[in-house]
Structure 1
């Protein structure tokens, strides 16, 4: 659903959803927040008789990990934050931070360039003479869907349309998180450009493809963390004022600029006051320094957020993985994996300024990869494990862009 032309639907939907949350959860709903979860983590450690925290957090898990490190720095023994969120805006009621998608379009551009470079290994490259031509053709076709959605008729009980939001929000944006899915994305986009709409429609535009059971849980935590101290008496933003805020974000990314519009309407209708008193610190010394991981181009938690965290945590080290995708595990890198293993086993951090390369191309078959015969048995086992992790990363069930449920009803 387009937040600009259908903002009234957004506002009404989330007003009702927030009331339903209040009715179902009651007063307990005010305490589903990240600081409370961080305290619960200590309860788990205490229950098993362990003092030191071992933790590897991805995406939102970096918000939880940073919150824990600030609340209980004396218990930090081995803490990795990977695909780092910017913690200060999270708790300061700054829902939309342009930094969050500052790399999104760069990853989209990278997808196009890698596709063209891959040649026959990328279905979308066929018929294009340059990466620039491919980019212009794909992007213009995508933007045309704003005004002219494509009707798709398969049979009397299976039909609908493919909209800009289906392709940008539900196909391209989540695929930027996980480059191992780029070959399949390219196949569906190639079919779309050729006028073969069935496969793209089935992949992206059916109602069951755009809703996650975890969405409402994420909504509760996000709003509980950043809700104002007094929700009931504060002056809430009007719908035009919400759109004014959204406008500041809109042009940051042609792919993801509007994907968080839901959150603005959610927060304005939220029924609970903030119950925690956590405020992020600007400088934190932990019992053992943190290891911070980031890809060079992360579509939702950009490198700049990891760099900011690196300045907050005394003696922490930032390891940059020279790749695209969300979190280091989005592409296999034995170099990164060995640093992670060494840190957990011995506590030794990489040298400041360390970077790691990835071990596979974005489009398999586009160039020679490291063969199993070139690896010893331990490295081969590690390579297989990393590939499996990249295919199904820890965040894959909860981190995709949110989608207004009414858009497909």
Structure 2
């Protein structure tokens, strides 16, 4: 099956890390604000200007040399590796542009999330991501954030080692599995340092936001018009904090709360995926003759039982490489379709086959999640996402401390709680320290109105986080989509789409608190 056939729309990649290196998960940027050893938020500060007064004029004076690439145009942007020391060298940021199909009013920079998802791919599939109203009025400009895609991509593991880490048990239940997870984590971070040390130390969200301002200037725009999804909302909010006077029309869809500690962000996401799974099961029960049970609780018990059975004995699959469906792969296969309500029928098929002893569809979904096709990974999103998140916030607990977190996490999510608790170990071995003020207190003071969209049963960025971000931003306006799946724009809700189009295209500022 091809991605286009099953129409899986993820918008945001998932953050992977924890006891098994990149295996236990926290999703979509983990909502992580900087945190102290107990998971409490540290004091944050206003950043100093990049380069300590060193000139970036040459960087800002550049123009993009666009060239044809398929139906679009591609180019590169040169930026410093380290804005604090711009004389230390540069990297290139990959760009792709979909030209406006009608009367152009400007450039709209977009980010699909992650962190780690290549933005150029979003523009390559622009007709799937954006409605005609935006395609007519804007050049849609995507970029691979530093360290991702084709923008000096960080590399930590070869494909075989990445396979092993993804397949490992995300909820280790024996001393041997815990030890294996600790070894995987050490290998992951050692690999990052050996393969990509110079770049991997400079892929923070703040540095990516600084790149966006260089991009704005290179596009010839006085203000940045921006549409960011999932982690892209954190990136956009960071830009608004750093450059409020340069913000144009900004939409942050599937918003995260950047003030949350790492621990609280993980708890929030655990609860979000529990809510999404329960909503999927409720729909199954409501439709009648649900194959998973007569009520939601029966369905949860059956799914949890399937995961436990797979943990004990991986399922056979039709994979040409002979891979089996392990508990780690089954988990990713389960959560991937929760990102889009339109994919629930695929989850039905995956679970039916899994319960019958065939892990093929769940394995396909796990591979889709990890950008794995024909035996290879097509991008580095599984590696970049961990490096970016941990560079932004290196707080972690040790493996010995994880069990004391189980009660809180299982309360937030009886199904997924322990897996998210293990994710708290994600950054324990990171060898890098960010140099460019990752611990911002974000309020966007001085920026024009910023539209924040939250979906009530969003699995990856729970609705409560959108409410929080809208409240934290001095000019934040909340738009609510009552529905399932991740993010709200272009998901079949005309009300949401109309508000976004009127704001981005016509400049009509919506009413705060509107619900659709």
TM-score category (smaller protein): 0.7 to 0.9
Give distance in 1, aligned partners of 2:251 and 2:277: 27
Mapped pair 1:183 → 2:345: yes
CA–CA distance in 1 between the matches of 2:297 and 2:191? Answer: 49
Counterpart of 2:281 in structure 1 is 112
Corresponding residue of 2:155: none
Corresponding residue for 2:335?
Answer: 173
Aligned residue number for residue 59 of structure 1: 230
Residue 294 of structure 1, CA deviation:
1.1
Does the Cα contact within 8 Å between 1:125 and 1:134 map onto a contact in 2? no
Corresponding position: 1:221 with 2:385: no
- d(CA) in 2 for partners of 1:181, 1:353: 29
- Look up the match of 1:82: 253
| CA-to-aligned-CA distance 1:293-322 (integer Å, 9 cap, x gap) | 111111121111111111111232111111
Which structure's residues are more often strand, by fraction? 2
SS at match of 2:478: strand
- Across the aligned residues of Structure 1 and Structure 2, the Cα RMSD in angstroms comes to 3.1
TM-fit CA distance, 1:109 = 1.1
Structure 1 partner of 2:309: 145
The alpha-carbon distance between structure 1 residues 117 and 72, as it changes in their structure 2 partners (threshold 3 A), is same
TM (normalized to structure 2)? Answer: 0.59
Deviation at 1:112, TM superposition (A): 1.1
- How far apart are the structure 2 equivalents of 1:218 and 1:205? 16
- Shift of the 88–197 alpha-carbon distance from structure 1 to 2, 3 Å rule, reads same
> Residue 452 of structure 2 contacts residue 477 of structure 2 at CA under 8 Å; is this kept in 1?
yes
- Contact 2:391–2:433 at 8 Å: present in 1 too? yes
Distance in 2, Cα, partners of 1:165 & 1:330: 31
Deviation at 1:157, TM superposition (A): 7.2
Q: CA deviation at 1:275?
A: 1.2
CA positional deviation for 1:140:
5.2
Which is worse superposed, 319-328 or 130-139?
130-139
Cα 1:153–1:77 shift into 2, 3 Å: closer
- The aligned counterpart of 1:241 is 401
1:100 equivalent in alignment to 2:296: no
- Equivalents in 1 of 2:311, 2:428: separation in Å? 29
Number of the residue aligned with 2:113: none
Q: Which range moves more in the overlay, 328-337 or 101-110?
A: 328-337
Deviations 1:335-370 (A, max 9, x none): 1111100010222232233111xxxxxxxxxxxxxx
Residue 250 to residue 133, structure 1, CA distance change in 2 (3 Å): closer
Q: Work out the CA distance in 1 between the residues paired with 2:272 and 2:490.
A: 15
- The 1:340/1:147 distance shift into structure 2, 3 A limit, reads closer
Which structure shows the higher helix fraction? 1
Cα distance between partner residues in 2 of 1:17 and 1:150: 24
Matched residue, 2:471: 311
SS at match of 1:102: helix
CA distance in 1, matches of 2:292, 2:423: 40
Matched, 1:328 2:495: no
- 1:245 is displaced (CA, Å) by 4.5
Partner of 1:3: 171
The aligned counterpart of 2:144 is none
Q: Give yes or no for contact 1:178–1:330 (8 Å, CA) kept in 2.
A: no
User: Is 1:125 aligned to residue 290 of structure 2?
Assistant: yes
For residues 16-47 of structure 1, what are the alpha-carbon distances to aligned partners after superposition, in whole Å with 9 as ceiling and x for unaligned?
22112112223333211110111111111112
Q: Is the CA contact 2:458–2:487 (under 8 Å) kept in the aligned structure 1?
A: yes
Shift of 1:242: 4.3
Distance 2:230 2:258 in 1: 11
Shift of 1:51: 1.4
1:400 corresponds in structure 2 to none
Mean Cα deviation higher: 283-292 or 172-181: 283-292
Q: CA separation in 2, counterparts of 1:155 and 1:281?
A: 47
The runs of 5 or more residues in structure 2 that have no matched partner are 1-168
TM-score with structure 1 setting the length: 0.73
Residue 87 of structure 1 aligns to a residue in which SS? coil
Task: Point out where structure 1 has 5 or more consecutive residues left out of the alignment.
Answer: 229-235, 357-409
* Residue 334 to residue 8, structure 1, CA distance change in 2 (3 Å): same
Where 1:320 maps in the other structure, the secondary structure is strand
In the other structure, the counterpart of 1:384 is none
2:111 aligned partner = none
Question: Could you say if the C-alpha distance between residues 47 and 150 of structure 1 is closer, same or farther in structure 2, counting changes exceeding 3 Å?
Answer: closer
